């Protein structure tokens, strides 16, 4: 499942919506990313994420398909927010559901690495008196 949204989300509720569908589920690995208060030795006040939504959905589907080819996954969940996000706000949730932990751990890391580096999101970081567009990174 893929969600790209401005609204905050409840990680546990989102995971449970999928978990209850699969009695064969043995492992869930999740990563939740938050807005930090410091980056590159600067005090961050907020960030603004812009997204090319149609492309993001296509790219997220592709990365989930690649993960499914490499690991035995039951399902995947990606929620990525955009818009203005304050410090401590959730940015992203990636959850991988499988029968065994190794598949869920490795696939979650694989998907998160992709999102951090190649997802069509652009981050503008705001400090006390200025802002800066950041390049995607690992």
Render pLDDT for 72-104 as a digit per residue (tens, 0 to 9). 999 999 999 999 999 999 999 999 999 999 999
**What mean pLDDT value characterizes the chain?**
94
**Strands laid side by side in the 83-86 sheet:** 83-86, 46-51, 121-126, 131-134
- The mean pLDDT value for 3-11 works out to 97
Q: How far apart are CA 70 and CA 57, in angstroms?
A: 20
Mean pLDDT lowest for which of 39-43, 76-80, 108-112, 129-133?
129-133
On the question of pLDDT at 116 being above 90, the answer is no
CA separation, residue 100 to residues 52, 97, 106 (Å): 34, 9, 11
Q: How far apart are CA 3 and CA 90, in angstroms?
A: 14
Helix 53-70 to helix 101-118 angle, to the nearest 10 degrees?
A: 150
Query: Which of 117 and 57 is assigned the larger pLDDT?
Result: 57
Please write down the long-range contacts of 114-120, taking CB distance under 8 Å and 24 or more positions apart. 114/63, 115/63, 115/78, 115/80, 118/59, 119/56, 119/59, 119/60, 119/80, 120/51, 120/52, 120/55, 120/56, 120/59
Residue 80 DSSP symbol: E
Please, what are the domains in the chain? 2-129 (3.90.1170.40)
Global pTM value: 0.92
CA dihedral 74, 67, 71, 105 (to 10 degrees): -80
pLDDT at 133: 86
């Amino acid at each position: 499942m893929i969600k790209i949204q401005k609204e905050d989300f409840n990680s546990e509720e989102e995971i449970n919506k999928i978990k209850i569908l699969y009695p064969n589920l043995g492992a869930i690995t999740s990563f939740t990313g938050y807005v930090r208060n410091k980056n590159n030795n600067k005090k961050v006040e907020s960030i603004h994420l812009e997204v090319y939504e149609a492309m993001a959905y296509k790219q997220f589907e592709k990365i989930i398909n690649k993960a499914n080819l490499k690991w035995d996954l039951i399902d995947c969940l990606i929620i990525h927010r955009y818009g203005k996000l304050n410090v401590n706000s959730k940015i992203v949730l990636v959850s991988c559901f499988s029968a065994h932990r190794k598949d869920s751990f490795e696939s979650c890391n694989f998907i998160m690495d992709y999102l951090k580096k190649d997802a069509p999101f652009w981050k503008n970081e705001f400090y006390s008196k200025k802002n800066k567009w950041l390049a995607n990174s690992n």
